[in-house]
Amino acid sequence: MKRYGSLIKIKPKKLEEYKKIHADIWPDVARMITKCNIKNYSIYHKDGFLFSYFEYIGEDFKSDMAKMAADPITQKWWDICMPMQEPLETRKEGEWWAEMEEVFHQD
């Protein structure tokens, strides 16, 4: 299992809408997350920042992420979510959510 922490900004005017749709995520999007081996997935908000934490239990993260990105319903979901977000300038090439560095872990 590998843990991932990621960071992105949310447009202040879009926060309530973002919370609302995430309180009632489309079942097909939720199922695709599970199918792509992501577990224990949380998103937190504070001061315009969204932090995501999840645990990846598969064998090939890149390939699972490609599978998710190729799913038409997930694409429609992202078409709604992404304009609400503002990615960090400092993210790596190809990233939307910027991957964070794990500086501590204790089971």
Q: Which residues bind its own copies (CB under 8 A)?
A: 3, 5, 7, 18-19, 22-23, 25, 30, 33-34, 38-47, 49-51, 53, 88, 90, 98-107
> And the tokens for 21?
């749709």
Of the listed 2, 11, 19, 22, which one is catalytic?
22
The least distance separating its own copies from the CB of residue 22, rounded to whole angstroms, comes to 4
Report the SS3 class of residue 55: strand
Distance from C-alpha of 73 to C-alpha of 80, rounded to nearest angstrom: 11
Cβ pair 39, 55 in contact under 8 A: yes
Establish whether 22 is a catalytic residue: yes
Nearer to its own copies, 51 or 67 (CB): 51
The least distance separating its own copies from the CB of residue 52, rounded to whole angstroms, comes to 8
Distance from C-alpha of 91 to C-alpha of 80, rounded to nearest angstrom: 21
Catalytic residues: 22
